[in-house]
Structures are given as C-alpha cells and as structure tokens.
C-alpha cells in the first residue's frame, strides 16, 4: 500500500478544479440493482481521472463526477460483508448525525429539500459545465441515460450558476472563495506562501500513507476503496437580504459595514486577510495568491485584534493555534446556486446559496470534527457564547465578539445568515472501483476477498 499517486484512477474532482461557471447536481435513487449498475456502467465512461482531465481540460465543455451513499452501495448490490467494512459515520449517514453536526431547528433534516434526507438517496451525479449551454447539453444526455435504465429515478436536481462578477470565485455574500486549499504531496503542486507543507495523500485519498502512518481500516475489498474518498455534501442557503441589513445595522458608513463583514469572515470580501490588512481593504492583496494566505495567528494575531477568535476563517482553519492541524484539513469543491441579488435590491425570498462538498479520508476525524468543534462548540477559544457567525447553528441567542483596544465590541443576538437545506455523505470511488461496482451482478467478481487487520 502507499506509493505513487495513481492519477489515472483518482476521480478528477479530488485533485483538480474544473473551470466551470455552470453545473447541475442530480440526486438519484436505484429501484433495482441491475438498473443502477446499467446507469453506472454507462456514466463511468464519462468520469475523468485526474490525469485524463489534465490532458483534456482546455477542450472539455463539461465534467462528470459520481458518488454513492451507503444505501446506494447496497442498492447497487454490494454484499453485506463489504458494506460492513465502511466506517460507522458513513453507514449511518448525515441525517443520523444531525444533532452532533448542529443540524437542528431551521437546519433540521425534517426541513431539508430535494429528498436528501431520505434513505432512498443513493447517488449523486455532479455535472459541471463551462457555460449554461454546455450544462443543458450534459443534462439532456444524462436525462436520456436515466430514461434507458430501468428503476433509476431522479429524486431532485439543483442547478448551479456562478454569481457575477465572474472574474473571480465568490459567494452570494460577496466573499472571495478558494483562497486556502491543502496541497497533496506527490501532485507536484506547490503550496502558496503560508499554506503549509504538502500533506500526505492518505488525508484525502484512501489507500495511501496519511499524516500518522500507513492506511488502516479501509473498506473492503481493496479494489473498492483504493483511490476513493468521502464527500460531505452541504446545501447552505445564504440569506443575503438579512446579511446586508445586519451590516447596515452595525456599521454607520460603508467602510464600517465592510469592516463588520470582514470581521465575521476574517478576510475582507476582496479576500485580503485582516492579519495583513487590519484597518483598510487591499483588493490587490486579496487577489494575489503569493500573498493572500501568508500569515499565522500565534505570532501575528494572538488576541484576535485583526481576526476575531470566533470568525469563520479562524474556526475553519486555526492554523498554528490548533493541535494536529494536518489531521483536520479538508478539500472543498462546489458552486453557488440561485440568482444573484443585486446590491441595494430588497430580499426577494428566492433561495440562493452554496452547494459544496467537503472531501476527506475520514468524515468523523475531519468534516465532523470541524462541524462539531470548530463551527459549533460554544466554547471554542473560550468564547463562551459563540458559534461560527457564517455557518454555525444560530438561533438569535448567541453573540460575536470583536477584540478591540481598549474594550472589545460585542454584537449580541446574532441572526442566522445561512440555513442548511440538505446534505449527505457520499463515497467517491476511484475509476476501477466504479467498474467493480458496475460489474457486481456478474457471476464472478474479480479479486474479491475480505481482508481484516491482524489483531
């Protein structure tokens, strides 16, 4: 086990980001195993590995990723012995983990949309596309494939669109995105200054050495887990009207409002980090990858005078102020959905937000830890009565403290700027594993055997 990364077997989404401005997620259910496998056999041909993606990305118009829930693996006909080798949190699914994740109140799975809370959710097809026209083409192709496969049903779908302006990635609140992503050892990618050394691939890809040693406890058989990963899907509605009113309420001038927005995030909306630009926005800094991630907290901002201890960025990546940081990193992919709400326009009640994936080798150690401790622990950094101001579970009773000399500023009754509208845990198999799953109904399964850890 371990060794060189098998780029030709790893689904491209793990290692590369498609240059997509449009896309669609289709959530599927398999009413019979043979139909599900027929769908998988056909669509697996469209799923690019990291290496084919690299070769063809400039010509490509659309990209396909497929992943399965635990119920989905069973629905394809995977046997019980193999199903039992998957980790508990994945087997139980995101709905069963809701309370621990903070998916309560308005965020409760009972209120989720699109059938995502249902045990019938079996698979996702992620269709990313260069343009809306390319997406339509991809969607039509997929529609006719589904129609050809007996018992395959689309539970729901979500259309994705980048929000204007299109020259850089940002969410509906206007925050620049994709600024801090871990780099994997062996990919040749060079981390930007401040991003830390490349991490062992096993932190994100099953079957490789991770930051604590050789891989252990992998789902069986090996062919199924090798080069796979897990994805936590989150559909987060962003309440843009409420967010903008909040800024107006707490900042007298546009400059003060921008500063409040920056304090909630830890960066100006331009992406410029507060540690490096504490008083005034610096858009050139925000756009410069050689500089926009080059900071720490312990030496540069121990008390949070620049970046509040409870801000979103400081929670999601506490950098040098957390233990075992390299065991908690995550890869983020995803896109925005819903129409842009122009500046100055009143809230129109239309749902808009982010539909994102957190990719990691261990949901419990990486995604669930971040959600349970960093995002929702009231006492993170001894804050006492705070959760993540952007994605934490907020019910209007909590506060947000902004360290400031001589006396900190405390905002009480923080509203919820986001609501979880759906989510799921998916297993993202490697390409060989996709073919293995597609061939499950065949009489002899090549190379199948259950391996156990020696005890």
Binding site for other proteins (CB under 8 A): 88-89, 99-100, 104, 212-213, 216-217, 323-324, 327, 364-365, 368-369, 372-373, 377-379, 382, 384-385, 393, 395, 397-398, 453, 455
User: Which residue's CB is nearer to other proteins, number 12 or number 387?
Assistant: 387
Task: Give the C-alpha separation, 245 to 346, whole Å.
Answer: 10
Sheet containing 331-337: give its strands across: 152-161, 22-30, 123-129, 62-68, 418-428, 229-238, 353-360, 331-337
Contacts of 186 (CB under 8 A, 6+ apart): 4, 5, 198, 201
Least Cβ distance, residue 203 to other proteins (angstroms): 13
Least Cβ distance, residue 321 to other proteins (angstroms): 11
Least Cβ distance, residue 384 to other proteins (angstroms): 5
CB 312, CB 391: distance < 8 Å: yes
Longest Cα pair distance anywhere in the chain, in angstroms?
74
Place of tokens 């599900």: 36
**What SS3 class is residue 187?**
coil
Least Cβ distance, residue 191 to other proteins (angstroms): 23
Least Cβ distance, residue 385 to other proteins (angstroms): 5
The tokens for 43 are 């669509």
**What SS3 class is residue 387?**
coil
Task: Give the C-alpha separation, 136 to 47, whole Å.
Answer: 18
User: Which residue's CB is nearer to other proteins, number 56 or number 412?
Assistant: 412
Least Cβ distance, residue 299 to other proteins (angstroms): 16
User: Which residue's CB is nearer to other proteins, number 193 or number 217?
Assistant: 217
Task: Give the C-alpha separation, 172 to 357, whole Å.
Answer: 17
User: Which residue's CB is nearer to other proteins, number 51 or number 104?
Assistant: 104
User: Which residue's CB is nearer to other proteins, number 88 or number 249?
Assistant: 88
Least Cβ distance, residue 119 to other proteins (angstroms): 20
Task: Give the C-alpha separation, 298 to 300, whole Å.
Answer: 6
The tokens for 392 are 């934490």
User: Which residue's CB is nearer to other proteins, number 141 or number 395?
Assistant: 395
User: Which residue's CB is nearer to other proteins, number 384 or number 446?
Assistant: 384
CB 263, CB 399: distance < 8 Å: no
Question: Does a cis peptide bond (omega within 30 degrees of 0) precede residue 221?
Answer: yes
Least Cβ distance, residue 433 to other proteins (angstroms): 22
User: Which residue's CB is nearer to other proteins, number 292 or number 317?
Assistant: 317
444 CB neighbour count, 10 Å cutoff: 7
User: Which residue's CB is nearer to other proteins, number 84 or number 113?
Assistant: 84
- Judged by phi (left if over 0) then psi (alpha if -120 to 50, else beta), residue 449 lies in beta
**Burial per residue of 327-345, b for 16 or more beta-carbon CB atoms within 10 angstroms, e otherwise:** bbbbbbbbbbbbeebeeee
Task: List Cα–Cα distances, 388 to 141, 287, 372, 383, in angstroms.
Answer: 40, 25, 11, 11
Task: Give the C-alpha separation, 157 to 139, whole Å.
Answer: 10
Q: Is the C-alpha dihedral spanning 163, 167, 171, 174 positive or negative?
A: negative
Least Cβ distance, residue 123 to other proteins (angstroms): 26
Q: Is the C-alpha dihedral spanning 82, 83, 84, 89 positive or negative?
A: positive
Least Cβ distance, residue 218 to other proteins (angstroms): 11
User: Which residue's CB is nearer to other proteins, number 88 or number 347?
Assistant: 88
Least Cβ distance, residue 322 to other proteins (angstroms): 9
Least Cβ distance, residue 386 to other proteins (angstroms): 10
User: Which residue's CB is nearer to other proteins, number 5 or number 363?
Assistant: 363
Between helix 254-265 and helix 240-250 the angle, nearest 10°, is 120
Task: Give the C-alpha separation, 278 to 115, whole Å.
Answer: 44
User: Which residue's CB is nearer to other proteins, number 86 or number 268?
Assistant: 86
């Amino acid at each position: 086990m371990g060794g060189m990364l098998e780029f030709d077997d790893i689904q491209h989404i793990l290692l590369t980001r498609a240059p997509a401005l449009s896309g669609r997620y289709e959530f599927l259910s398999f009413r019979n195993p043979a139909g599900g496998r027929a769908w998988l056999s056909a669509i697996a041909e469209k799923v690019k590995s990291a290496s084919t993606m690299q070769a063809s990305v400039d010509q490509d118009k659309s990209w396909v990723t497929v992943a399965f829930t635990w119920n989905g693996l069973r629905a394809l006909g995977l046997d019980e012995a193999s199903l039992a080798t998957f980790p508990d949190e994945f087997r139980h699914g995101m709905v069963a983990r809701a309370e621990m994740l903070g998916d309560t109140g308005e965020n409760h799975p009972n209120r989720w949309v699109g059938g995502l809370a249902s045990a019938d959710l079996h698979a996702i097809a992620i269709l990313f596309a260069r343009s809306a026209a390319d997406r339509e083409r991809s969607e039509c192709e997929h529609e006719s494939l589904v129609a050809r496969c007996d018992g395959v049903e689309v539970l729901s779908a979500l259309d994705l669109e980048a929000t204007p302006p299109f020259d850089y990635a940002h969410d509906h609140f206007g925050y620049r995105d994709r600024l801090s992503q871990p780099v994997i050892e062996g990919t040749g990618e060079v981390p930007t200054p401040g991003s830390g050394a490349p991490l062992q691939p096993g932190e994100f890809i099953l079957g490789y050495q991770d930051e604590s040693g050789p891989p252990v406890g992998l789902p069986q058989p090996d062919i199924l887990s090798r080069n796979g990963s897990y994805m936590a899907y989150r559909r987060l509605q962003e309440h843009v009207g409420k967010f903008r009113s909040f800024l107006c309420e707490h900042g007298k001038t546009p400059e003060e409002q921008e500063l409040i927005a920056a304090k909630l995030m830890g960066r100006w909306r331009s992406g410029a980090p507060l540690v490096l630009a504490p008083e005034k926005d610096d858009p050139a800094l925000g756009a410069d990858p050689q500089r926009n991630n080059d900071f720490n907290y312990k030496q540069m901002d121990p008390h949070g005078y620049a970046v509040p201890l409870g801000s979103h960025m400081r929670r999601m990546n506490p950098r040098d102020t957390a233990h075992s940081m390299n065991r908690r990193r995550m890869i983020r992919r995803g896109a925005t959905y819903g129409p842009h709400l122009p500046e100055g326009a009143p809230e129109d009640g239309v749902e808009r937000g982010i539909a994102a994936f957190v990719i990691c080798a261990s949901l419990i150690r990486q995604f669930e830890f971040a959600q349970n401790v960093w995002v929702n622990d009231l006492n993170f950094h001894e804050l006492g009565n705070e959760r993540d101001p952007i994605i934490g579970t907020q019910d209007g009773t909590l506060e947000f403290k902004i360290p400031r000399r001589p006396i900190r500023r405390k905002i009480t009754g923080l509203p919820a700027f986001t609501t979880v509208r759906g989510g799921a845990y998916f297993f993202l198999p490697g390409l060989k594993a996709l073919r293995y799953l597609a061939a499950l109904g065949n009489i002899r399964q090549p190379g199948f055997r259950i391996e156990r850890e020696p005890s």
